[in-house]
Amino acid sequence: MPSEAKIAGATLVSTNPATGEVLAELACASADDVRTAVQRAKSAQPQWQATPVRARIAVLRRFQELLNERRMDVARLICREAGKPAAEALATEVLVVLDAAQFCIHNAHRFLRDKPLPHANLAMKTKRGKLVREPYGVIGIVAPWNYPFSIPAIETLGALVAGNAVVLKPSECTPLVALELERLLLAAGVNPHLMQVVVGEGPVGAALVESPVDKLIFTGSVATGKRVGEAAARRLLPVVLELGGKDPMIVLDDADLEVATSGALWAAFMNAGQTCLSLERCYVHRSLYEPFLSKCREKIAKLRVGNGIDSEVEIGPMIHERQLKIVEEQVNDAVQRGARLLAGGKRLTELGPNFYAPTLLADVTNDMRLMQEETFGPVLPVAPFDSDEEVIRVANDSEFGLAASVWTGSRRRGEAMAARIKAGTVMLNDMISCFGIAEAPHGGFKQSGIGRTHGEIGLQEMVQTKYVDVDLIPGIRKVWWFGYGRKYQQQMNGFIDVLFARSWAKKLKGALRSAGLFRRSTRI
């Protein structure tokens, strides 16, 4: 049995990547099913939008309570379907979602309420304006397999609290986790038409893109993301695209070697390296280079690989054979081109078909595939550098710009370097945990995507901003309306001097020239 979900006729088969065990067989949605789901969502959404924000928040609070009660069941399901250790599922998925729900509960009402907008222009002082945030309607979400719970849950919670409906298409590898998210939300009081999961492979995602959703959030590869963006552009469908990264770790000469090596291993190998924010390029100052490699090699030997349902295991399987082959090819290419293999670099077939040993490579160069293409596997490639200028240049030498990290004993030096790195997030002395900070936006530069999720900026992606303006003296014709002429032109010139001339003399002359502007009898 292949260790990935596959279509068999109109059936999706979900399997455990660690064991090959069949977890479930699910009926695939058709294009008509997707359109029907979106139409149901459109019918239910207006009533949800009319529901007071505090009532929506109460639903999220109940979801949070249910998830907290069932957290081990959810973590074990993530482990069985995605392969990551259950403890890691708790820390990087369940905990993150609980915190994201807390953020919405505490901040949604303030964010969504109308915001007065003052007018600085003197001519507009008789008006009162405000910004009104309104939901898009139906948000389509196409979610990945590597974080099958936290990514769609965070996006769904933000969409729902803002007054939208959601149609979620999960990865074909992890449909059961998405269905569990749906069950929790429905149990919390969400109308079944407001949150729907459509199961299937690529054609189901394509049908969702072509359906009458009002916005689409996609997480996945650059190649697929570009196709999604092209399809969306044909009808000006707004999108958020999170397309992965090639995140660099920069270890400066004043870094704590013990901390940096432990951080490097976790950032490179957690979730078997299958994380968009994972460490994929490691640059170490030459003065620390060999000690860094030695400590990493020593610590890698202590890591426990196996079925993540075992609480002692730290690294589980890769999701499927296709991803394992990509990793294998990149590692072999690097070794053939001169990289030193210090640990791993092989399949662990004695554990199962999808296990790959945590791998440490030294002396890699930026022109290797391993340093340019997204690896998405348990590989730590390390290269030396001699100067800050050099490492900034090579760190920015990538088509991606999702995140980066700088490891240093000097906060000032680290922040100065962070300012020069082209990435959506730069962390000092840590990696990946930015995803778990509910207030922090998630997204990147360059080929890493468009838009943001998480935090207030992520909530902004879930609403359309409308400006509403009220005139306080509606019975008066406005100064700028028709009835032009030479005198009006002179008066307007004078009024502009009143507002913007640098000298008081010009302002005074302008005031004299603009006299009578607001009493102009020639207005039509």
Distances (CA, A) of 95 to 16, 101, 305: 23, 10, 23
pLDDT tens readout for residues 132-161:
999 999 999 999 999 999 999 999 999 999
pLDDT surpassing 90 at residue 256: yes
Domain ranges in the chain with CATH number 3.40.605.10: 30-243+456-466
Phi first, then psi: what are they for 43, rounded to 5°?
-70, -35
Classified by CATH at the fold level, domain 30-243+456-466 comes out as: Aldehyde Dehydrogenase; Chain A, domain 1 (3.40.605)
β 11-15/6-8 pair status: antiparallel
Nearest CA among 499, 463, 472 for reference residue 164:
463
Q: How far apart are CA 210 and CA 31, in angstroms?
A: 9
Domain ranges in the chain with CATH number 3.40.309.10: 247-439
Q: How far apart are CA 458 and CA 435, in angstroms?
A: 12
Q: Is the dihedral of CA 148, 150, 153, 155 positive or negative?
A: negative
Q: What is the mean pLDDT of residues 38-53?
A: 98
Residue that the structure tokens 């607001």 belong to: 518
Residue ranges with strand state E in 42-158:
115-117, 127-135, 138-142
Q: Is the pTM of this model over 0.85?
A: yes
Q: Which two tokens stand for residue 324?
A: 């394992």
Q: Is the dihedral of CA 175, 441, 468, 53 positive or negative?
A: positive
CB 381 within 8 A of CB 281: yes
pLDDT tens readout for residues 336-356:
999 999 999 999 999 999 999
Residue type, 296: C
Which amino acids are annotated catalytic?
242, 276
Q: How far apart are CA 451 and CA 189, in angstroms?
A: 30
Measured CA angle at 62 (ends 61, 63), to 5 deg: 90
Q: How far apart are CA 85 and CA 258, in angstroms?
A: 24
pLDDT surpassing 80 at residue 1: no
Q: What is the mean pLDDT of residues 475-502?
A: 94
Instruction: Specify the CATH number of the domain 247-439.
Output: 3.40.309.10
pLDDT tens readout for residues 158-210:
999 999 999 999 999 999 999 999 999 999 999 999 999 999 999 999 999 99
